[in-house]
Structure 1
């Protein structure tokens, strides 16, 4: 993740502005402006870490927003060499130690934790899905079911958890779904038009729900198949049918897939399994920040 990219920089800045971090009414009247402190970011559960790279960026952006001397004092961030985004952390493990002005640490505490908890929650849930299909050939995919504005970060968290990114946005590929089929004159018409009008390099993938849909998609030349809302048995039958084609066709399964049944879907033979829950239903990881004065 390029934490200094314009898009990510803008997201982090907006988080600080939203919380009015530079106008922290409580901290500004209770904490000495020159007090330095040490903050420890601590995992309070077994988890997969994501978002550590945002910590120094939040502090740098805070300094850009706040002209007071305290915001521009030297800070150090130290983490164990074995702790970085994508690794498993144990309950009670210190993820990072920050030495900085106490006011700055207190004012940035919430936004740092909010982001790390959210991203680490996604990474942790993703790893559970990935672990559940170990030994199969299937890969766990994310979806576009993300919080508006946070997609790049959430998809990064999926990568940290061992998952694979699907389309980043609507311009990243052609995926003909049920509403496209309904409004586009039917499956055959939609696929045919897509193959004729697509830009070079855009593979045409189509969603199918029945045996007839699948036959129509194959006959029309669809280049990738999404098996939607099928049972594992239906997926297995569909995979066997697709593999009879002379050309290689990537197969994705989606719809109603949860931790309890993803293994059955993976063993049915698809190349990919997309799970919206990775981003839309991940529980925030339990992470805390303990701050102590340096002279204590």
Structure 2
């Protein structure tokens, strides 16, 4: 088997650090059961199996989190549908086997993760499909850029939401404040100028950290480019001004990436696509998504 074959299928679960995953799951379980497990007392420890049912259409995502919840409770999970697949309701997604009180102890935590992760992935996939099917008029070719989520994630749930973006086929943007140096209006106002803030950021970020600057006008974008930033975010621009500014910057600074952001959603995202736009970012991927409906149903174990 060659190297290419050995990497199939691609598993985003390999991105997750086992220790981090266990820590998150333990926190979620402790939050959900702060003292006595009254329901567990009622059912006891007989071995049962439960079917995970997908009850609405969407993309399955979050299986590592679901599985770790039950692994930590000494239960096993047998998947019948692979991560990233399109669910058609009602469908048996997985079977969970273990002591019944442990199955029920992990039920809600595991379903919460799966429902939300799958919701993020479904919305991300929808956006990606819209853009991939679009031909850019100026080039007559598909768009070369990326759609990205933002750092506007749910506190304590960032890893799940960022992971789900990848399953849905779009970029995570920066994961946290240490992932990339992103300089916004407040940084610029405090530092005095775009030139100053980029110079100071470069002194600590070094060669291995990209610098992105949020700009509100062509003049700010030109200053950022001349100060040698790597990425310019054109934030909340009118569409005509967005594409005109992107064109001017690209004609003078071909290596700078242009990101468009502000007010983007599934209905208008194609308006932001253009030959001079490299990234389109939006927060709705992790703030405005719908969850998918799953349930876990106990079956007698024979």
What range describes the TM-score normalised by the shorter chain of this pair? 0.7 to 0.9
Distance 2:177 2:124 in 1: 23
- 1:85-107 C-alpha deviation (Å, 9 max, x unpaired): 22221121221112222222122
Q: Aligned residue for 1:6?
A: 19
Distance 1:62 1:32 in 2: 14
Alignment of 1:228-243 (within 5 A): 228-243=235-250
Shift of 1:169: 1.3
Q: Does 1:132 align with 2:130?
A: yes
TM-score for both structures, normalised by structure 1:
0.88
Q: Does 1:264 align with 2:274?
A: no
Q: Aligned residue for 1:202?
A: 209
Shift of 1:45: 1.0
Distance 1:59 1:22, change over 3 A: farther
Shift of 1:21: 7.9
Paired residues, number? 280
- 1:206-262 C-alpha deviation (Å, 9 max, x unpaired): 111112112222222222111111122222112211221254111111111111111
Q: Aligned residue for 1:77?
A: 77
Distance 1:193 1:56, change over 3 A: closer
Q: Aligned residue for 1:116?
A: 114
Shift of 1:197: 4.4
Q: Aligned residue for 2:62?
A: 51
Q: Secondary structure at the match of 2:155?
A: coil
Shift of 1:14: 0.9
Q: Aligned residue for 1:216?
A: 223
Q: Does 1:292 align with 2:299?
A: yes
Gap runs ≥5 in structure 1: 64-74
Distance 1:173 1:283 in 2: 29
Q: Would the aligned equivalents of 2:183 and 2:214 in 1 still touch at CA under 8 Å?
A: yes
Pick from 26, 30, 33: which aligns with 2:45? 33
- 1:144-190 C-alpha deviation (Å, 9 max, x unpaired): 11122222221111001101121111112111111111111022322
TM-score for both structures, normalised by structure 2:
0.86
Q: Aligned residue for 1:42?
A: 53
RMSD between superposed Cα atoms in Å: 1.9
Q: Secondary structure at the match of 1:270?
A: coil
Distance 1:187 1:153 in 2: 34
